[in-house]
Structure 1
Amino acid sequence: MKRIAYLSPLALAAACCCTAVYAQSAEPTLKPIEVPAHYDNAVGTSDAASQGSIRAELLKNKPALRPGEVLEFVPGMVVTQHSGDGKANQYFLRGFNLDHGTDFATTINGLPVNMPTHAHGHGYTDINFLIPELVERIDYRKGPYFATHGDFAAAGAADILYRTQLAPIASLELGARGYRRGLVAGSGLVGGGLKLLGALELSHNDGPWALKENFNKTNAVVTLSDGNAANGWNVSFMDYRARWRSTDQIPERLIGQPFTGGTSTGIFDRFDAIDTSNGGRTQRSSLSGQWRRSGQGMRDEVSLYAMRYSLDLYSNFTYFTKGAGGDQFLQKDARTVYGGSASRTFAHSLAGKDSSTQFGAQLRHDRIRVGLFDTEQRNITNTTRDDSVRQTQTGLFAENSTQWLPMVRTVAGIRWDGLQTNVNSLSLAANSGKASDSQISPKFSVILGPFNKTEFFFNAGKGFHSNDARGTTITTDPATGLPADRVPGLAASHGIEIGARTEAINGLQSSIALWRLNADSELVYVGDAGATEAGEASKRYGIEFNNRYTPMPWLIFDADFAWTHARFANGDFVDNSVDRVASFSATVKRNGWSATLATRYIGSGPLEATNTVRSRPSITTNLRLGYQMSKQVEFGLDVFNLFNRRNDDIQYFYESQLPGEAAPVADRHIHPGEPRSLRLSMKVNF
């Protein structure tokens, strides 16, 4: 495994002198409100019933098998995995199979995580570089109602904010099946009273797979900062590297049957692998910063970031449809990303009413080398696509919030987004070219209340997701040689939501949202085919009901329920959409002890357009026990899949071909959830 590259404090300080910076926008009139439980979702703190903030305390209390599962704390979100732990998770929200991130925008420490025109899937969101101990809070929002968020935010968005100060800690985690993780982190003062935070994380995991995953991760963060959230700046360097072997999804027809090959020497097991050379390696290094200034009813924010990223991913989902050499392929992505944003928010009077307005601009430029190659045992045998891509995304937005009456407030916004693509196809010149697209997206919300600690919301807006740049210039399908249709650069969506939030019952926060979202197209890039396919328009609607109850200071209950109806405009079912999601947790804290029992239910969903084959629902229960022996020493025990249920992390339905089969066979393909596993941890606070 390659060793991590470090940035010295001197180099970081020098970078600070030449780099402008940015932070998340906030209206100057808003004040932080402390509420019980884990969510800062009190009445009067948001513009929609489905918007809120998650405090770091929740991340401490609830167990998470993988870093990506922190997004599962967003009510209604489901996070799974269908391959190795170094690969981006699968995300499901509001009837969307978000694949690896399309239609859900994510940032970490001010950096965009979604990768457009990615080798494995447009909008690819790999948050394995997240260090949970550094998280200060997660701000989430759903639907296209917020002018500050553009690409990939049609279904929702989450901004994960890191700390700039942290009391020094050292922690060690040991678990079943080769799991181990070490973390050292902390902050202190350096010359001139500046704050310097550093964190280094090392981890390894083999998992329950017959093919040991041999997942190795090295992760580092260094942040230099001054000032506070209102007036100050911070510059961060982050570096993440991972390498792993993966067991991809397997066909159900093979489980329990005689099979010699891959990791099986007799009867094929749920945790066996067919192609033992699958896996990958990835790297992500970034330099970013934020600067903010507040005063006299005004707030200015500026951000710049630069990032280098790479991924080599070897996969085989169909096994031997192409013959004895197998169907393995390599998806290769290497890019540099530059971007930034700036905004000004100011308080003023509008028609004699208290008002605030925010103006902002956002810019992102990706320089990408992206390719798809046939491989055998990780040796390239054929090039399907190899492209050099330049794409630039520009966004301008304005948003106004006005308090018209003591119990009537409106938020009106508008965005303009532009996309320019330049594709140089190195494998098929006919697919080269330039394209551009733009869209104007209005937004509008009305907030009524509070009435007896209850408020009501109406939200409407237009949003979008961009499409893979290669689809905007394509003329020939690189896999078949047949003519292919170009796709627009931006695909619009239209959403509406009616909701309410109440604290009428002492200690209980409840919210309900009825929503609808129509998408002009479910356009996606099919990574293992090397082509962009245009899907039908789609329609979704649903209900979400979220509850936080603190009957006593030492006892907290969380309960979330979501139901979704998803269809294509022609009436077909949306593949892999999840109809029902529910989660429940109870947390107890007394006399240095803590315990959290958390259960997640994932309902059934259609695996193909006719709804003839559906996924099986699953229930997973996790347990976290903690004991604070002293101010300095804490112990923890996590038990994942407490009842050892035979769940599947993911289910698909498609054709594949095994040795001895004369033709491809349509079958359910699964990636099993992990069996019961334990992890022990010790944290020392200095």
Structure 2
Amino acid sequence: MAAFAACAAASTFAQSVGSTLAPVEIRGNYDNAVGSSDAASQGSVSARLIATRPTERTGEILEFVPGLIVSQHSGDGKANQYYLRGFNLDHGTDFATFVDGMPVNMRSHAHGQGYTDLNFLIPELVSRIDYRKGPYYAEEGDFASAGAAHLRLMDTLPAGIASLTLGQNRYTRALLAKSTAAGAGQLLYALDLARNDGPWVNPERLRKFNGLLRYSQGTRDEGFNVTAMGYSARWNATDQIPQRAVDAGLVDRYGAIDATDGGESSRYSVSAAMRQRNALGLLEVNAYAIRSRLDLFSNFTYYMDDPVGGDQFEQKERRSVAGLNLSQTWNMKLAGFDAVNRVGLQTRYDRVSPVGLYRTTARVQTSLDREDRVRETSAGVFAENTTQWHEKFRTVAGVRWDRYRFDVASNIAANSGKAGDHLASPKLSFIVGPWAKTEYFLNWGEGFHSNDARGTTQVLTPKDLLPTTPVTPLVKTRGSEIGLRTELVPGLQSSVALWRLRIASELVFVGDAGDTAPSRPSARHGVEWNNHYVADNGLLLDADFAISRSRYTQDDAAGNFIPGSIEKVVSLGVTIVDRGPWSGSVQLRYFGPRPLVEDNSVRSSSTVLTNARVAYKLDAKTRVALDVFNLFNRKASDIDYYYDSQLRGEASPVTDRVFHPVEPRAFRVTLTHNF
């Protein structure tokens, strides 16, 4: 059972103030023990669990967050689609993701606000995933209303990794990683190369490079690290296709309407982090600089706007990002009670020059829709107090204040300008217990997401030059949650959360059109039930269930359903280790039907996928693993939409269901040697 052994933290409070609260021993790959969090929906995933389950795409590592679905509607070099808590999060809006303190969400992005591309990540180097849901945490700011995930990278590896993966459709991946002593610290390096054609009629021809170099000294509690990361990819894309084209035999299920779709992207970053004990308590500093580029070619309406050359368009951006985060934590007595305070500052500057939308044919620009140069600056300060009022009662009270400045220079002179906004977000949590190994939570908080900078200064639509109104820069959200976590059954960690979230506006900037899509206020609520059970020596069972209801709160004749909003998610997993040289896992994921139009008259189908892994140790340092994706070869959709499009030869647009299929059953074999 050593492979599953983990000692949960006594609590966020106990970690900070050195409380005498005893940590609870629990066996499992989720560090979600009683006393380890401030909400029933908060938790952590260990590297051991990440290593046991196969992921078809890098971004699917976020599916370790209970209730979160990751899908794709285009080439694998593009950011994934994400779903959580009644949201179709598109490519990341309202779910904040960080890698070692660096924000992954890109604001004022060419393709979509909050664009979250995790393809630069090497999953084998992730030491843990800390996740939070809801706007209850003073540390979390932009995009974190539905939740946030912090992926922590390893400073050292227990042994070097040399692995080679081969699969169908010319899938190949090679990884080399190792850490070694360097002066007073450790040097970690990794190189990850991959290629894939996929099952598509038009081969994807994905070519991807990832590299990492990291130097660290000290410990997690007191030390520092400096990390350089590099990523580059190019690919062909098979975008979503209309159902009528498949039914008529015009295109294969895995075929493309426009075989020239695809793209190129890159990301290079340098970051540094430090944790140091001082006279007050704990000082934490994190700084980063990122340089990224994207050239994305898509065609979603085919020949509706241009019956001859087609409707392909390019979304292009060149981005530089710099940021600094710092916080100070200290202990104190509040009216005689143990307390811990934390204050922090978070700053970020984005320079996107240019960010543009162009009409193209076969990736050759034919006209310009819009081109802008954006400067976006933000600063957020937060303060949080945790007080242990009683052995079985503590509170967490916090507030944050954010200020944003936008500066847009547009090719449409009237749309150039400057804008700004600020927002205060209070937070409050009550944690009671444990009694009978059960803890209870009540959480409330306000949060926000920022809108695309171009929408804050736009007064003319880019295509028709019609008058329009600039959007609100910062959109307020308000959420609450009641929940419990229990270990009453030996070996079982179980949590239940009933939550609610309201958003002042669902308005988004649609990068595909270069314009702002107005929408209405909305409300969501639901329930989540997560279970992690060690049934026997080396056997771990996971069962997560989530049900959500999403509606616009302002009535409209079109209907009040929110298109694409997720309603039901089920994830079931079995993991087996220490069966002699054998180990394995099976994971089933159910992605329920969604409304595709406001009146709910058209709905998507459900998607059930099962992935499996069987691994065998050849010796103490070498193992081989067989991964099977879509084990039962289900013909389902990764994503569904319902909108107007026009195929070549059609006289007028047709409103139809369009979809991107899940990939058929695929096998991959990985040989790994530790050195």
| Alignment TM-score, normalising by the size of structure 1 | 0.94
Q: How does 1:27-46 map to 2 (within 5 A)?
A: 27-29=16-18, 35-46=26-37
Q: 1:631 and 1:459 mapped to 2: Cα distance?
A: 47
Q: 2:31 and 2:554 mapped to 1: Cα distance?
A: 41
SS at match of 2:376: strand
Q: How many residues align?
A: 652
Please report how far the alpha carbon of residue 32 of structure 1 lies from its aligned counterpart in structure 2 after TM superposition.
Answer: 7.6
**Residue aligning to 1:88:** 79
Please report how far the alpha carbon of residue 56 of structure 1 lies from its aligned counterpart in structure 2 after TM superposition.
Answer: 0.5
Q: 1:504 and 1:145 mapped to 2: Cα distance?
A: 26
Q: Give the letter for the 1:52 counterpart.
A: G
Q: 2:391 and 2:279 mapped to 1: Cα distance?
A: 23
The answer to whether residue 201 in structure 2 is matched with residue 210 in structure 1 is: yes
**Residue aligning to 1:16:** none
Q: How does 1:132-143 map to 2 (within 5 A)?
A: 132-143=123-134
Please report how far the alpha carbon of residue 533 of structure 1 lies from its aligned counterpart in structure 2 after TM superposition.
Answer: 2.0
The answer to whether residue 544 in structure 2 is matched with residue 560 in structure 1 is: yes
Candidates 328, 331, 350, aligned match of 2:334: 350
Q: How does 1:605-684 map to 2 (within 5 A)?
A: 605-684=594-673
Candidates 258, 268, 277, aligned match of 1:294: 277
**Residue aligning to 1:319:** 302
Q: Give the letter for the 1:574 counterpart.
A: I
The answer to whether residue 563 in structure 2 is matched with residue 575 in structure 1 is: yes
Q: Give the letter for the 2:292 counterpart.
A: Y
**Residue aligning to 1:404:** 389
SS at match of 1:145: coil
Q: 1:517 and 1:190 mapped to 2: Cα distance?
A: 49
Q: Would you say the 8 A contact 1:312–1:333 is kept in 2?
A: yes
CA offset digits 1:524-554 (Å, max 9, x no partner): 1111211112210000000000000112121
Q: Give the letter for the 1:565 counterpart.
A: R
Q: 1:343 and 1:587 mapped to 2: Cα distance?
A: 38
Please report how far the alpha carbon of residue 587 of structure 1 lies from its aligned counterpart in structure 2 after TM superposition.
Answer: 1.2
Candidates 516, 519, 525, aligned match of 1:541: 525
**Residue aligning to 1:7:** none
**Residue aligning to 1:277:** 260
SS at match of 2:26: coil
Q: Would you say the 8 A contact 2:525–2:550 is kept in 1?
A: yes
Q: 2:279 and 2:434 mapped to 1: Cα distance?
A: 28
SS at match of 1:450: strand
Q: 1:80 and 1:32 mapped to 2: Cα distance?
A: 37
Please report how far the alpha carbon of residue 460 of structure 1 lies from its aligned counterpart in structure 2 after TM superposition.
Answer: 0.1
Q: Would you say the 8 A contact 1:142–1:157 is kept in 2?
A: yes
Q: Give the letter for the 2:591 counterpart.
A: I
Q: How does 1:89-108 map to 2 (within 5 A)?
A: 89-108=80-99
Q: Would you say the 8 A contact 1:34–1:40 is kept in 2?
A: no
Q: Give the letter for the 2:372 counterpart.
A: D
Q: 1:630 and 1:34 mapped to 2: Cα distance?
A: 31
Provide structure 2 residue ranges, at least 5 long, that are not aligned to the other structure: 1-13
Please report how far the alpha carbon of residue 33 of structure 1 lies from its aligned counterpart in structure 2 after TM superposition.
Answer: 6.3
**Residue aligning to 2:122:** 131
Q: 2:109 and 2:565 mapped to 1: Cα distance?
A: 22
The answer to whether residue 415 in structure 2 is matched with residue 424 in structure 1 is: no
CA offset digits 1:617-675 (Å, max 9, x no partner): 01101111111222210110100000001011000000000011111100000000000
SS at match of 2:238: coil
SS at match of 2:435: coil
Q: 1:657 and 1:551 mapped to 2: Cα distance?
A: 54
**Residue aligning to 1:372:** 357
| Alignment TM-score, normalising by the size of structure 2 | 0.95
Q: Would you say the 8 A contact 2:24–2:34 is kept in 1?
A: no
CA offset digits 1:448-472 (Å, max 9, x no partner): 0000100000000000000000000
Q: 1:80 and 1:100 mapped to 2: Cα distance?
A: 10
Please report how far the alpha carbon of residue 258 of structure 1 lies from its aligned counterpart in structure 2 after TM superposition.
Answer: 4.1
The answer to whether residue 577 in structure 2 is matched with residue 594 in structure 1 is: no
Q: 2:283 and 2:616 mapped to 1: Cα distance?
A: 43
**Residue aligning to 2:11:** none
SS at match of 1:532: strand
SS at match of 2:189: strand
**Residue aligning to 1:11:** none
Q: How does 1:504-519 map to 2 (within 5 A)?
A: 504-519=488-503
Please report how far the alpha carbon of residue 294 of structure 1 lies from its aligned counterpart in structure 2 after TM superposition.
Answer: 2.3
More divergent stretch after superposition (28-37 vs 113-122): 28-37
More divergent stretch after superposition (29-38 vs 161-170): 29-38
Q: 2:448 and 2:153 mapped to 1: Cα distance?
A: 27
Please report how far the alpha carbon of residue 406 of structure 1 lies from its aligned counterpart in structure 2 after TM superposition.
Answer: 0.6
Candidates 168, 174, 196, aligned match of 1:182: 174
Change (3 A) 1:308 1:548: same
**Residue aligning to 2:473:** 489
Q: Give the letter for the 1:646 counterpart.
A: K
Q: Would you say the 8 A contact 1:35–1:42 is kept in 2?
A: yes
Q: Would you say the 8 A contact 1:559–1:582 is kept in 2?
A: yes
Q: Give the letter for the 1:381 counterpart.
A: T
Please report how far the alpha carbon of residue 27 of structure 1 lies from its aligned counterpart in structure 2 after TM superposition.
Answer: 3.0
Q: Would you say the 8 A contact 1:28–1:299 is kept in 2?
A: no
Q: Would you say the 8 A contact 1:592–1:627 is kept in 2?
A: yes
Q: 1:570 and 1:58 mapped to 2: Cα distance?
A: 43
**Residue aligning to 1:56:** 47
Q: 2:373 and 2:263 mapped to 1: Cα distance?
A: 21
Candidates 434, 437, 442, aligned match of 2:421: 437
SS at match of 2:377: strand
Q: How does 1:184-199 map to 2 (within 5 A)?
A: 184-191=176-183, 193-199=184-190
More divergent stretch after superposition (627-636 vs 611-620): 627-636
Q: 1:26 and 1:487 mapped to 2: Cα distance?
A: 42
Q: 1:284 and 1:132 mapped to 2: Cα distance?
A: 16
CA offset digits 1:600-633 (Å, max 9, x no partner): 0011110011100001001101111111222210
Please report how far the alpha carbon of residue 295 of structure 1 lies from its aligned counterpart in structure 2 after TM superposition.
Answer: 5.6
Change (3 A) 1:195 1:514: same
Q: 2:25 and 2:625 mapped to 1: Cα distance?
A: 27
Q: Give the letter for the 1:402 counterpart.
A: T
Change (3 A) 1:594 1:296: farther
Q: 1:651 and 1:509 mapped to 2: Cα distance?
A: 35
Q: 1:525 and 1:311 mapped to 2: Cα distance?
A: 18
Please report how far the alpha carbon of residue 34 of structure 1 lies from its aligned counterpart in structure 2 after TM superposition.
Answer: 5.6
**Residue aligning to 1:551:** 535
Q: 1:190 and 1:684 mapped to 2: Cα distance?
A: 23
**Residue aligning to 2:241:** 250
Q: 1:290 and 1:32 mapped to 2: Cα distance?
A: 27
